[in-house]
Amino acid sequence: MASRIIPVDTFDLVIFGGTGDLARRKILPGLFRRFCASQIPTESRIVGVARTHLEKKDYQLLARDSITEFSENRVINTEYLAKFLEMLDYIKVDARGEDGWEELGELVRKDVVNAYYLSVGPDLFGEIASRLNKWNIATPESRVVIEKPFGHDLSSAKKLNKTLSQYFSENQIYRIDHYLGKETVQNLMAVRFGNLLFEPLWNSQYIDHIQISVAETVGVGGRGAYYDKSGAMRDMVQNHLMQLLCLIAMEPPSQFNPNSVRDEKLKVIRALADVEPHHIVRGQYDLTKTEQSYRQDAENSHSFTESYVAIKTEVNNWRWAGVPFYLRTGKKLKLRSSEIAIVFKELPHSIFEKAEGEK
C-alpha cells in the first residue's frame, strides 16, 4: 500500500517528555521522516519539554543523535537534518508545578495549528491538561495526543477520559498506538480486504491456529520505573498485540473509515474467550555474563513483574470458533522480530515426506 502524502498546515508541536525514550526512539525520527517527505512545512516548530535543564542547542544535538541512531534510513540526508534541527526548540517545564508554563505560553503561536504530544506517564495527563488550560496556552482548535497506557485498568482509564474531557472536546483528543503506524501493520487491511485471494480461506475451516509474536532484544533500559508497574501484559499485549489480533480477526468493515473499522474491532474484543490461568506463561530475563537481569534494570530486587508473556486465547464467533490465537512478547530475547503466522490445517493426506523434526 503506497503512502499518501497529505498537505499539512504550519503548526507548533509541543512534546511533553521530549527527552524520553519514546521521543528519542519514535517521535523525533518519525517527525524527521515526515519532514523528508515534505509533509512538515519549514515554518513549523517542534518544542521539546521536560523537567531537565537543557539549552536549545543541546536539545538539537540530542535530536540529531536520536535520529542518527533510530532512523529507519541508515543513510541520513545531512542537509535535510540540518534544516529539521533548526525547527527545534526546548523549554524546561515542571508538569506538576508552575515553572516554565508562562515561557511556554509565550513561545506557542496562537495563529497556527498547535498540538501537544503527551509522551509521559498517564499520571501526568491531567496535570498537563489542567495547566495548558490555566495558562491559556491551549485553544479550542488545539489538539492533544496521548500514548498508551491509557491508565492501568478500566477504572483508571475512565477517570483519565473524564479528566481530559474537562479541558478538551473529544475531537481534540487523539489516542495513539504508534505500533499501528508500521507499514506492514497498515498493509494488513489491504491484504485482507483488497483482494479475493485470502478471504475464502480466512476462517476456522482452513486455519489451524494463528501466532502473533513481538520479540525484542533490548531490556527495559531507562524505563524501569514505568515498566515495573506495567509489565509486558500492559505494555504490549493489551494494546499492540490486541490491535494486531483485531486486524487479523475482524470482519470486513462497511466502509474504510475510523468508525466502521472501530466497530468491527469491538466485535472481536467482545467475542474473546476468557483466558484460563493455565493458558498464560510469564517470565523475566535473568542475569548473564554480559547483561543485567530484569530486577537490576528495574532497580527492584523483589519484582515479579513479567518481561515476557505468552497467552492462548480464542475468538468465539462463527468465523473463528475453535481456532487458537497465540500471543507472545518479551524483552532480551535472542532475535528482534514482529510477525504474524497464519498456520493452515494439514491436508487429509500429503504425498510429500516431512522434513526431519517436522511433526
Q: Catalytic amino acids? A: 240
| φ/ψ bin of 282: left (φ > 0), alpha (ψ from -120 to 50), beta (otherwise) | beta
Give the CA count within 13 Å in the CB-facing half-sphere of 251. Answer: 13
Sign of the dihedral through C-alpha 214, 148, 48, 224: negative
Maximum Cα interatomic distance, the chain, rounded to a whole number of Å? 75
**Contact at 8 Å (CB) between 340 and 212?**
yes
Helical pair 183-193 and 242-249, crossing angle rounded to 10 deg: 20
Per the omega criterion (within 30 degrees of 0), is the bond before 253 cis? no
With CA atoms as reference, report the closest residue to 279 among 324, 245, 233, 241: 324
- Give the SS3 label for residue 1: coil
